[in-house]
Amino acid sequence: MAAEDVRYRQSTQYRLWSFSPVQLASTREQTNALARSNISERLLSNPPPPPPAASLKPPPATGASDATSGSNTPDPHAAAQQHQQQQAEQPYTLPEFLTPAEELQLLNYYTVELLRAANHFNLRSPMLASAAVFLRRFYATNSVMTYPPAEMLKTCLFFGCKAEGYYPNNEQFAQQFPKTKGEGILAGEFLLCQGIRFAFDVKHPFRGLEGAVLELRRYGDVDSTRINDASNRAKEILRFSPLVTDAYFHYTPSQIMLAALSLADQDLADRVLHETFHRHPQTEQKSNKSSNSSTSASTSEQRAALISSEVRARVAEAVNACRDLLAKEPPERLTSYWDTPESNNIIKPLLKKLRKCRDPDRFNLVELQKAKREEALRREEAEEKRAAGGGDKKTVEADGSVFGEALGGAGGGRGGEGRDVKRRKTEGKGGDPFGGPLG
């Protein structure tokens, strides 16, 4: 195997974020199923007030904040009221949830929104692309119903810039969006980092394209305006098509680059492949000779030729498959498709559906972040208390940590924090460490 391939396989992009289509689909199904069951649970244990009034509140941002802060704070009055209402009226019925396919459609929609914003800010390609990849990775293991994609896309853009080495001021960054505060952008940052499994380095095909252009020029017999045209078109494709599809999950940057190049100019892409594999048997043979002298020259030559043609066929197959995938979302869709009435007919109902079935506790990132911060502070205090307790309280301390460990590991959502916190919960009426509805 070629040395570059070995290297690529050490990257987080390969180790953590490459899947077959089947694997990715099943991950998305699991994510969707978990979100359904969790949201159902939360809605049932603390149903929102009856619909007519609520459904009249259209804007997602403010609507979400109302809904969640209401259910997040353990206000006994509100709870009692709800309880009464509930008993007086019909039993609460769960909303209809998004299907995995619908989630994916919304994800595509929001990815395009992200790219539009990025184009509007004139972001450089790696930043734009990293942001889009972060969004898609995040929503592979988190549901669109759990965390708000309209907010997360801003966080992704912000973090994409940071991951590519530029550190915008978050307030100024927020001002570029309507109705957005810095706080809102930061609220999702940690969540995003966790969701992308702390893999901040994304390998993009842009530099690969530059390399292929240099290769083509080196051949000496290819018309340079033709190369330029192909390169420009391929660049345009790379800034859209692989980012709105699952190309990054299934293909390597070089495969994506070759696919884009072949969309721009099939012959040039074929030429690059041909030149590469045309030369390949010789290098293969040479390395075989030096490393394994027992093999006779003729067999290693044959073997090399065989491997080479087999590998070449597989590479061509991968590039073709990737090209077909990219062709589904040509760059023109950025402006023509997503703005049209027919696309609105698809997206608008989905957005409406989402508004009804989203997670009551988690859709408001700012509130969620606040609650988590407060919880963390509380735990720190508790820890200090315990630490200050000194010698004879050793056993108590140990017990505490045992509980902490066990609960945390076994997966109580926000549960794993000793008894101290629980006691405190009744004292302050700020953020509920358990997140209202579950308590």
- Whether the CB-CB separation of 255 and 269 falls below 8 Å is answered with no
- Provide the residue count of the chain: 439
CB of 169 to another protein, least distance (A): 6
Give, for 75, the enclosing helix (H) or strand (E). Answer: none
Distance (Å, rounded) from C-alpha 218 to C-alpha 420? 70
Q: 341 or 409: whose CB is closer to another protein?
A: 409
Residue type, 40: S
Q: 297 or 313: whose CB is closer to another protein?
A: 313
CB of 14 to another protein, least distance (A): 7
CB of 2 to another protein, least distance (A): 5
DSSP string, 178-194: TT--HHHHHHTHHHHHH
Q: 109 or 159: whose CB is closer to another protein?
A: 159
Residue type, 115: L
Q: 4 or 339: whose CB is closer to another protein?
A: 4
Distance (Å, rounded) from C-alpha 14 to C-alpha 18? 5
CB of 215 to another protein, least distance (A): 7
Phi (first) and psi of residue 99, to 5 degrees: -85, 165
Q: 33 or 396: whose CB is closer to another protein?
A: 33
CB of 117 to another protein, least distance (A): 13
Phi (first) and psi of residue 291, to 5 degrees: -85, -30
CB of 341 to another protein, least distance (A): 33
CB of 65 to another protein, least distance (A): 20
CB of 272 to another protein, least distance (A): 8
Question: DSSP code of 272?
Answer: H
Distance (Å, rounded) from C-alpha 69 to C-alpha 285? 68
Q: 26 or 293: whose CB is closer to another protein?
A: 26
CB of 371 to another protein, least distance (A): 11
Q: Classify residue 218 as exposed, middle or buried by CB count within 10 Å of its CB (0-12, 13-18, 19+).
A: exposed
Phi (first) and psi of residue 362, to 5 degrees: -115, -5
Q: 111 or 255: whose CB is closer to another protein?
A: 255
Q: 110 or 138: whose CB is closer to another protein?
A: 138
Q: 45 or 336: whose CB is closer to another protein?
A: 45
Question: DSSP code of 393?
Answer: G
- CA dihedral sign of residues 348, 366, 170, 244: negative
CA 363 distance to own-chain centroid: 16
- Whether the CB-CB separation of 273 and 309 falls below 8 Å is answered with no
- CA dihedral sign of residues 81, 87, 88, 91: positive
